[in-house]
């Protein structure tokens, strides 16, 4: 089985985004323009809208228009938009514009273009695509790009569907003209997604620093919104000063944050953020282009995507003369988490631990003596040769070789398998001392230690192979 989700991401050490001017944080504000593109009988939909409004517990009205719901959306276009527009003057902003909504609001669309806002597409209609057939959603994306171009004068370079299906991101990749997609909440930095062998940049969005939480009970007043945005900013700003710059995305809706009791919270946040140095206010397209220039896609070896024979050839020697470990890893569940040394090492260790007692003992016995007869005859595997050389075991004096041989023989006679140690963790003196100490252990204790060392050797080999 191949697991489709990437739970690894950048791991513990994310890349430095190198924001322009050495900024500690990139702040990105989105205004969602959805009014006029929502579910409505008048728009050809089966029912009225029920999402993100002031009506608690709203439900779709099949076959009927909903006057209150429609007028709430009308407020966003008529009043809320202009309040946000004035408040955001001078700040780079991205509009997620539903194509049919932009077409129905020519004055607001002209104002956003004149202000230099980035006009990304929010799809053709602001509807739920989870049950929409793939080919229908693809056609809607095509129509959205076309209508967006007709309305604004240029095609959109960013795409955020919002109410997605499992096909949305793939369809966005396949459309071929987007510099970034935004239907992800998986990170605080952009990342490259590969679909059908082609890289596509993802600039993740937000559902937490988002005024939609006014509609689901997360925020009840502007002060709560301000405090959440302020704390998010302060955390990321501090981390940026510590050498881990990130991106803060903020989502706004005209009919939600555009209400006066909420807009004041936004204003206080903007004042707070602008009072700090080292803040890069940017559109999502600015961020996408910066990332693509600073961190262009680099194809990496992906073990989880290899064919079985190729995987076994590549990693079958990680456990000494025991390709079955790699084969069982491939036969199990693999995903992006196993495309790095740490994840693949963990998967192999898991299979090794799950093996029978006899299988594990055979792995121990497959390991060569340190500086023994196989080394002298140059019959070690390439990995073992390099490892022993790294600790100077290929250049022993006659006296050192005699002592290694004596300890090796005593250890093997006592425990029934050769002395095993991850030599890259030690120098020659440390290895000798460990041999002298461990030869005195009881076999049960030493069996545990030997198996631990086998897994450590595998981990080091994978790091050398993949990093």
The strand pairing partners of 33, in sequence order, are 97
Cβ atoms within 10 Å, residue 335: 19
Residue 320: CATH number of its domain: 1.10.3330.10
State how far the Cα of 80 lies from the Cα of 393, in Å rounded to an integer: 75
Question: Is the separation of the CB atoms in 225 and 283 below 8 Å?
Answer: no
Phi, psi of 249 (to 5 degrees): -95, 140
Cα separation values, 50 from 55, 59, 70, 160, Å: 8, 5, 10, 20
Residue 193 annotated to the active site: no
Q: Are residue 225 and residue 323 in the same domain, yes or no?
A: no
In the chain, the N- to C-terminal Cα span, in Å, equals 25
Given the residues 193, 290, 338, 367, select the one marked as catalytic: 367
Q: Are residue 386 and residue 287 in the same domain, yes or no?
A: no
Residue written as tokens 């799950």? 354
95, part of any domain: yes
Residue written as tokens 């076309």? 146
| Residue among 254, 240, 318 nearest 87 (CA) | 254
Q: Are residue 66 and residue 188 in the same domain, yes or no?
A: yes
15, part of any domain: no
Q: Are residue 218 and residue 165 in the same domain, yes or no?
A: yes
Cα separation values, 203 from 145, 225, 248, Å: 19, 23, 11
Q: Are residue 107 and residue 153 in the same domain, yes or no?
A: yes
**How many domains does the chain fold into?**
2
Q: H or E element: which one contains 381? A: none
Q: End of a domain among 263, 294, 325? A: 294
370, part of any domain: yes
pLDDT for the residue 178: 98
State the residue range of the domain holding 450.
Answer: 303-466
| Residue among 376, 461, 387 nearest 431 (CA) | 387
Four-residue CA torsion sign, 211, 216, 218, 219: positive
Q: H or E element: which one contains 246? A: strand 246-253
Residue 265: CATH number of its domain: 3.20.20.370
Q: Are residue 287 and residue 401 in the same domain, yes or no?
A: no
| Residue among 208, 203, 207 nearest 192 (CA) | 203
Give me the tens of pLDDT residue by residue for the chain, a chain 467 residues long. 899 999 999 999 999 999 999 999 999 999 999 999 887 877 887 777 766 777 677 787 888 887 887 888 999 999 999 999 999 999 999 999 999 999 999 999 999 999 999 999 999 998 899 999 999 999 999 999 999 999 999 999 999 999 999 999 999 999 999 999 999 999 999 999 999 999 999 999 999 999 989 888 788 899 999 999 999 999 999 999 999 999 999 999 999 999 999 999 999 999 999 999 999 999 999 999 999 999 999 998 999 999 999 999 999 999 999 999 999 999 999 999 999 999 999 999 999 999 999 999 999 999 987 765 445 445 557 676 667 666 566 666 778 888 888 888 899 999 999 999 998 898 888 888 898 899 889 999 999 999 999 999 999 999 999 98
Q: Are residue 359 and residue 264 in the same domain, yes or no?
A: no
Phi, psi of 466 (to 5 degrees): -110, -15
Q: H or E element: which one contains 119? A: strand 118-121
14, part of any domain: no
52, part of any domain: yes
């Amino acid at each position: 089985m191949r697991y489709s989700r990437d739970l690894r991401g950048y791991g513990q050490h994310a890349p430095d985004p190198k924001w322009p001017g050495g900024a500690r944080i990139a702040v990105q504000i989105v205004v969602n323009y959805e009014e006029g593109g929502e579910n409505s009988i008048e728009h050809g939909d089966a029912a009225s809208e029920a999402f993100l409004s002031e009506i608690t517990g709203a439900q779709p009205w099949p076959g009927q228009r909903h006057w209150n719901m429609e007028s709430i959306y009308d407020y966003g276009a008529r009043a809320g938009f202009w309040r946000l527009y004035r408040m955001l003057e001078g700040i780079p902003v991205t509009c997620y514009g539903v194509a049919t909504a932009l077409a129905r609001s020519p004055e607001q669309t002209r104002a956003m273009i004149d202000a230099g806002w980035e006009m990304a597409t929010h799809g053709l209609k602001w509807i739920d695509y989870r049950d929409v057939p793939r080919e229908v959603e693809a056609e809607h994306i095509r129509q959205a790009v076309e209508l967006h171009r007709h309305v604004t004068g240029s095609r959109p370079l960013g795409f955020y569907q919002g109410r997605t299906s499992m096909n949305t991101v793939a369809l966005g990749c396949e459309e071929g003209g987007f510099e970034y997609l935004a239907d992800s909440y998986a990170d605080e930095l952009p990342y490259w997604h590969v679909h059908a062998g082609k890289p596509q940049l993802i600039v993740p969005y937000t559902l937490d620093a988002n005024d939609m939480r006014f509609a689901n009970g997360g925020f009840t007043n502007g002060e709560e919104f301000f405090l959440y945005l302020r704390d998010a900013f302060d955390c990321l700003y501090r981390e940026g000063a510590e050498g881990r710059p990130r991106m803060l995305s903020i989502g706004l809706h005209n009919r939600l944050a555009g209400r006066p009791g909420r807009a004041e919270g936004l204003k206080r946040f903007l004042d707070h953020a602008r009072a700090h140095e080292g803040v890069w206010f940017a559109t999502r397209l600015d961020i996408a282009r910066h990332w693509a220039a600073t961190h262009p896609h680099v194809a990496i070896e992906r073990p989880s995507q290899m064919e079985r024979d190729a995987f076994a050839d590549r990693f079958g020697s990680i456990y000494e003369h025991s390709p079955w470990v790699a084969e069982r890893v491939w036969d199990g569940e693999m995903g992006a988490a196993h495309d790095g040394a740490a994840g693949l090492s963990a998967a192999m260790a898991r299979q090794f631990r799950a093996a029978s007692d006899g299988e594990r003992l055979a792995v121990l016995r497959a390991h060569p003596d340190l500086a023994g007869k196989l080394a002298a005859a140059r019959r070690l595997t390439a990995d073992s040769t390099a490892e022993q050389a790294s600790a100077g075991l290929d250049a022993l004096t006659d006296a050192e070789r005699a002592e290694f041989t004596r300890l090796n023989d005593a250890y093997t006679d006592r425990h029934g398998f050769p002395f095993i140690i991850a030599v890259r963790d030690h120098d020659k003196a440390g290895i000798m001392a460990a041999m002298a100490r461990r030869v005195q252990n009881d076999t049960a204790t030493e069996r545990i230690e030997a198996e631990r060392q086998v897994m450590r050797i595998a981990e080091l080999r994978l790091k050398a192979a993949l990093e």
